[in-house]
Amino acid sequence: MVEQVKDVPAYIRKMYGYNSFMTNFGVHIDEVTCGGAVVSLEIDPLKHFNHRGICHGGVLAALADSVLGVTGASVGAAVATLNFSMNFIRNVHSGGRVYVRSRIRHNGHKTMVIEAEMYDADDTLMATILTTMFVVGRFEEIPAKW
Domain count along the chain: 1
- Whether 2 is covered by a domain: the verdict is no
For residues 114 and 68, the answer to whether their CB atoms sit within 8 Å is yes
pTM for this entry: 0.93
Query: Does residue 127 form part of some domain?
Result: yes
pLDDT digits (tens, 9 = 90+) for 62-87: 999 999 999 999 999 999 999 999 99
User: Shortest CA distance to 60 belongs to which of 103, 14, 93?
Assistant: 93
Domain of 121 in residue numbering reads as: 8-138
| Residue 4 clears pLDDT 90, i.e. is over it | yes
Please report whether residue 3 resides in a domain: no
Contact assessment for residue 136 and residue 80, using Cβ atoms and an 8 Å cutoff: yes
Average pLDDT (95-124) is: 96
- Domain assignment present for 129: yes
Confidence of residue 32 (pLDDT cuts 50, 70, 90): very high
